[in-house]
Chains A and B, each alone.
Chain A
């Protein structure tokens, strides 16, 4: 749920990075954190990380400037991707205003991507949110592995697996190198702010 503070003319929204385990959600946030100046971003919080997996969530607040006199603050969260941590995912999804689904281009992750997207749909539905209504952007991550000897999925195949029904904007990415990270962030921010303001106007 977004929060609008009329005494400061400020809107706060929550964007969650979702997707299968080890797909690059935390790497997206780390790249954003490194690339942005301190004036724009707050401190990145990573908790309960055991090895390279997120067990609870990562958190990064950003101030994205003003739209029509209203300061936009967006808080980025990641969820743990591993199947067993669904309770934690539901917790982090609470009050979500926009979602980035980070899909893994590795061919061996083909089914995990589909499962994770289905899990997102179910978790949202439990909160009475329709996946087709909430702002959602897909990122096909790890494209930099194309050309190496590791088998990866083609973009067409990922589109067919994940986006055939949803028809949402998508970006190819390499979170490690930063490719596509800001394009994804820009698109989800734009859509989230629009979505929140439309909901507000209809009140």
Chain B
């Protein structure tokens, strides 16, 4: 059974700093950290009109469903997912075993930059989420 997650104010502040520094400053519109059971841990950026709680639940489900696809083709999991829209794109990255980083960004931000920065952010988040891996 997955352990319950308790995060102190300090840990939350650290997560916020990392997300703001490396993703919002790079042009992402909104960044969410969720766990794989669908809990929203942190959301940053401008989520006007965006139902972040539903987005967290659906993203966890989406990740779970694609993990099943991965198993069908002999993989354990997919480390990242990307959905492209007309104006808005969404990028999902696995963080450790139990978390997902969701990045929303517009058409004027390059996918390469987001990928590069989410990789950096993931490395910084894992020790903060530490004991839960």
Contacts and interface: CB of A to CB of B under 8 A. Distances in A.
Contacts, number: 95
Interface stretch (A54-62, A101-109, A135-143, A171-179): A54-62
B61 A56 contact: yes
With a 10 A CB-CB cut-off, give which of B7, B39, B64 has the most chain A CB atoms.
B39
A18 to B, nearest CB: 15
Interface string B32-45: 00011111110000
Interface in A70-107: 75, 77, 87, 91-92, 94-96
Interface residues of B, number: 29
Contact of B68 (A4, A7, A87): A87
A42 B36 contact: no
Given A14-B38, A92-B61, A95-B36, A3 B1 contact: no
A199 B7 CA distance: 15
Contacts of A64: none
A47 interface: yes
Nearest to B15: A7
Contacts of B57: 45, 59, 61, 75, 77
B81 interface: no
A27 to B, nearest CB: 20
Contacts of A3: 4-7, 35, 39, 41
A91 B64 contact: yes
Interface residues of A, number: 32
B64 A94 contact: yes
Given A5-B12, A12-B39, 20 more contacts: A1-B37, A1-B39, A2-B5, A2-B39, A3-B4, A5-B7, A6-B6, A43-B51, A43-B54, A45-B54, A59-B38, A59-B57, A75-B39, A91-B64, A91-B65, A91-B68, A94-B60, A95-B38, A127-B1, A196-B4
